[in-house]
A and B are shown apart, each in its own frame.
Chain A
């Protein structure tokens, strides 16, 4: 059965800290891995990774995929209270675009 696992499940840090969120997957037909940020209800897209070892970066956020280890990390540097959210990792495992999500990591950034 296809599976995506995220760790930690929750994390509390202070503003300015750097955090690393982990995602590992076991899927039979890997196409790509995606990261989303969910603050209220709608997940908002952060990154899509298809190639191993190539870092994607957007401001203070960056992510990299390791296909050999079947995993990805999401880094957030100089965290701000506005980074508080649930971060979701998802794997696209077919041509249909259907996503398999992990449980999410709840990040709380304290002032």
Chain B
């Protein structure tokens, strides 16, 4: 596909479980961003990758959150010991380079029960 693809589109998990959210960016885009959007709020920055490396992870809320991008393309956001407060829509965006216009995926709605 031509756009940013995120899977799954919806995920329901029990408190305390581990989850992985996947982002497949637009082909050739070197910059990749993860955001989290809680109900009634704007997206909140989590982490930015340039290539394989996390260039800015200042938005990760705590050490339960981790993200990887081992080959500079697909990225996985991993959340350990999920809590009800982690429930949100997790958005991924990619761009051809840092500072250039980013394109968003449809997001993954995570619900922790």
A residues in contact (CB < 8 Å) with B: 4, 6, 31, 36, 40-45, 48, 88, 90, 92, 94-104
Distance in angstroms between the alpha carbons of A48 and B103 in the assembled complex: 13
Q: Report yes or no: A92 in contact with B99, Cβ–Cβ below 8 A.
A: yes
Q: From residue B44, how far is it (CB to closest CB) to chain A in Å?
A: 7
Q: Decide yes or no whether B55 CB sits under 8 A from chain A.
A: yes
Interface string of B88-106 (1 = CB under 8 A from A): 0101000100111111111
Distance in angstroms between the alpha carbons of A90 and B44 in the assembled complex: 10
Q: Which of A4, A41, A99 has the most CB of B within 10 A?
A: A41
Q: Which of A44, A92, A96, A103 has the most CB of B within 10 A?
A: A96
B residues in contact (CB < 8 Å) with A: 4, 31, 33, 35, 40-45, 48, 50, 55-56, 59, 89, 91, 95, 98-107, 109
Q: Report yes or no: A97 in contact with B91, Cβ–Cβ below 8 A.
A: no
Q: From residue A16, how far is it (CB to closest CB) to chain B in Å?
A: 28
Q: From residue B103, how far is it (CB to closest CB) to chain A in Å?
A: 8
Distance in angstroms between the alpha carbons of A64 and B37 in the assembled complex: 26
Distance in angstroms between the alpha carbons of A4 and B43 in the assembled complex: 12
Specify which of A31, A48, A101 is in contact with B101 (CB 8 Å cutoff): A48
Closest chain B residue to A40, Cβ basis: B106
Distance in angstroms between the alpha carbons of A88 and B106 in the assembled complex: 16
Q: Report yes or no: B42 in contact with A98, Cβ–Cβ below 8 A.
A: no
Q: From residue B91, how far is it (CB to closest CB) to chain A in Å?
A: 7
Q: Report yes or no: B106 in contact with A99, Cβ–Cβ below 8 A.
A: no
- Chain B residues in 8 Å Cβ range of A44: 104
Distance in angstroms between the alpha carbons of A85 and B41 in the assembled complex: 14
Q: From residue B49, how far is it (CB to closest CB) to chain A in Å?
A: 10
Q: From residue B64, how far is it (CB to closest CB) to chain A in Å?
A: 21
Offer 30 A-B interface pairs, CB within 8 angstroms, sorted by A: A4-B42, A31-B99, A36-B104, A40-B106, A42-B4, A42-B91, A42-B104, A42-B107, A43-B43, A43-B91, A44-B104, A45-B101, A48-B101, A92-B99, A95-B98, A96-B56, A96-B98, A97-B48, A97-B98, A97-B100, A97-B102, A98-B48, A99-B45, A99-B102, A100-B45, A101-B35, A101-B43, A103-B41, A103-B42, A104-B41
